[in-house]
Structure 1
Amino acid sequence: MNTTLHATSQVLERHDNLFEQQHLVVAGQLADAYPLQLLEQVASLQICCNHFGHYQYFSEQSHSKLSCQFSAQAQLQENSNALLFFMPKAKQEAAYLFACILPQLQQGAEIFVVGENRGGVKGCEKLLASYGIKLNKIDSARRCSLYFGTLNQTVPAFQLEPWFEHFEVALPAKTLQVKSLPGVFNHGKLDEGSQLLLEQLPAMHGAVLDFGCGAGIIGASQALLYPIQISLLDVSAYAIASTQATLKENAIAGTVIASDGLSEVKQRFDFIVSNPPFHAGIATQYETTETFLAQAKQHLRENGELWIVANSFLQYESLIKQHFSRYETKLDNKKFKILRCCV
């Protein structure tokens, strides 16, 4: 977890007094450890994490006022009377979170929304207007804005199922039924990179790990085609819930792992397949994938293989050479590369 304060948190620091004695809920696209600074002011602090690494970090903090959870469907304490919401880049993810959280807040709860201007924070005004919440901008600095409003009407209870997007992925002689929630990579459709990877993958056997599984497309498709033991891993609570729903929809048995990188993985595999992430919010971020490539070999059995798809501008080959004695480019269409690495 980043302990250097993001621009949004620097704006919030100017308004710490707004949260005094509140039973505060923190949710959305957290970027740093700022919420911990509020422990002296608030009556209680609930942090709703959709990133497993953030959940691990906050869980390690011992404080009587603090509770945190990792879930795609937050469960709040009955006394929750204030929300500090970090606006995600994806508007549909924000809509999903508001629909989940607002019904659980007390009448008259105070709503604070903060976000980057270029990240679309202004979209919160329209989203919350549908709940009768009129927002006022109370600060603007560091290319960020902070809004305030009050919840004065009853909000319908949250229903998870309607938020799933359903779509199909055609496979050789099979069709995979996919379910995905807002906040999942390429929500509601098969992305081009994963499609290319599916077309290049060999026949699978043994134990297979889908790293950064999203809605479970790559791993679940292989489990439909071959008699394998499939594990699917992601850092996102939305991805974990989506993958579980995809497996259930296709009657596939598999192990779903919430993990920040490979930290929660204990076994070795015959294959690791991945369309690894390289974005964090609105920024490009390579650290997760670089760490994954450095550690993947330790989780492969003898003669095991790592298959990844990457945007062509990402120069992963130099890092791969440090850890794998053999690798080859199976496809390069100038937009995407399919790389095969062998132990």
Structure 2
Amino acid sequence: MDPRSEVLLRQADLFQGSVLLVGLPADDLLGRLPDAHGWCWHAGDQAALEARFPGRCHFGVEAPQRGFDSAVVFLPKAKDLTDYLLNAVAARLAGREVYLVGEKRAGIEGASKQLNPFGKPRKLDSARHCQLWQVTVATAPEAKPLQSLAQTYELPLAEGPLKVVSLPGVFSHGRLDRGTALLLEHLDKLPSGHVLDFGCGAGVLGAAIKRRYPHNTLTLLDVDAFAAASSRLTLAANGLEAEVLTGDGIDAAPMGLNAILSNPPFHTGVHTDYQATENLLVKAGKHLKNGGELRLVANSFLKYQPLIEEHLGSCAIKAEGQGFRIYQAKRG
């Protein structure tokens, strides 16, 4: 069981009523707290929780409409996402309790100060390298619309400026990361047909592809509901249309693709996780048509070329720069 869940269960008497678990891990916590409900935005965690606890976990970027007597926020990686989540639950819990739980190495001690706007925080427990904090909401804040927290910036592209809209918690929020910047410089000679932007984040690659190759069919896929929402905002800001999906990795992607482009993530929370990318490299060939192309940017220290060649075919390094490489391979 996740150590944060273990800390909650040390204080299980506090969570016997209708408690909302925000950003909960995909473990047995819902089974141990039978009146609790979850709010999740990670498609993989949601699928695992729905399989075990049907109807007890809400998926999306907005708080569930159902009522609850208290809420526990599992500390996410991004500070601005923590602010959004705390505000969303505190807005509905005047005079009641909001809890914040997280690992020490994720910064829970400092994050506890984000409870200050709602009342006087106090530490309830410290165990399993985690801490549990609690605040009684003195005055319910006004709920902030998620879109009001979006950050927008422009990219100068050959086809004209591209507006990028990102939401709290999305990879590279409010700025262009170096890997995507390198891949944007090498979108030439992309196959015609159906193109997938895998791990789409704020939709930078997908929007740029649709702008340059308007006749291509485009699908954007991410495991994170906040990323999918950001991609929809980016597409709308540029007058572009494409399919945006949430799903747990390449298994959720369409078949018969002509190209897959990706700047794949390798972090889950504060932990490093290469599984989604390795799964992509192993299975990309099943989703590509014959002659279909995989084009991927990754940190140079990640040795992906042998894995690509084992499962897809001959792999070339198309470009290198600032610690990144672009790999290009075609299904034979």
What TM-score results when the alignment is normalised by the length of structure 1? 0.92
Q: 1:23 aligns with which of 18, 21, 25?
A: 18
The aligned residue for residue 60 of structure 2 is 71
The aligned residue for residue 143 of structure 1 is 129
The aligned residue for residue 50 of structure 1 is 41
Is the 8 Å Cα contact of residues 308 and 340 (structure 1) preserved in structure 2? yes
Q: 2:209 aligns with which of 215, 222, 234?
A: 222
The aligned residue for residue 6 of structure 1 is 2
- Indicate yes or no: 2:193 matched with 1:206: yes
- Indicate yes or no: 2:221 matched with 1:233: yes
Task: Point out where structure 1 has 5 or more consecutive residues left out of the alignment.
Answer: none
Deviation string 1:159-215 (CA, Å, 9 cap, x unpaired) is 222111011111113111111001100000110000001111223321110000000
| Cα distance in 2 for residues equivalent to 1:175 and 1:155 | 37
- Indicate yes or no: 2:23 matched with 1:37: no
The aligned residue for residue 333 of structure 1 is 321
Is the 8 Å Cα contact of residues 81 and 108 (structure 1) preserved in structure 2? no
Is the 8 Å Cα contact of residues 231 and 254 (structure 1) preserved in structure 2? yes
Change (3 A) 1:267 1:275: same
| Cα distance in 2 for residues equivalent to 1:298 and 1:272 | 12
Q: How many residues align?
A: 329
The aligned residue for residue 323 of structure 1 is 311
The aligned residue for residue 128 of structure 1 is 115
Deviation string 1:78-109 (CA, Å, 9 cap, x unpaired) is 3x11111111121111011112222133x322
The aligned residue for residue 110 of structure 1 is 97
Task: Point out where structure 2 has 5 or more consecutive residues left out of the alignment.
Answer: none
Is the 8 Å Cα contact of residues 307 and 339 (structure 1) preserved in structure 2? yes
- Indicate yes or no: 2:292 matched with 1:304: yes
| Cα distance in 2 for residues equivalent to 1:90 and 1:9 | 20
Q: 1:154 aligns with which of 124, 140, 144?
A: 140
Is the 8 Å Cα contact of residues 312 and 330 (structure 2) preserved in structure 1? yes
Is the 8 Å Cα contact of residues 76 and 104 (structure 1) preserved in structure 2? no
What TM-score results when the alignment is normalised by the length of structure 2? 0.94
Q: For residue 200 of structure 1, give the secondary structure of its aligned residue in structure 2.
A: coil
Q: Please, which moves more after superposition, 114-123 or 210-219?
A: 114-123
Identity of aligned residues (%): 38
Is the 8 Å Cα contact of residues 125 and 134 (structure 1) preserved in structure 2? no
| Cα distance in 2 for residues equivalent to 1:340 and 1:332 | 12
Q: Partner amino acid for 2:41? A: N
Q: For residue 174 of structure 2, give the secondary structure of its aligned residue in structure 1.
A: coil
Tell me how large the CA RMSD over aligned residues is. Answer: 1.6
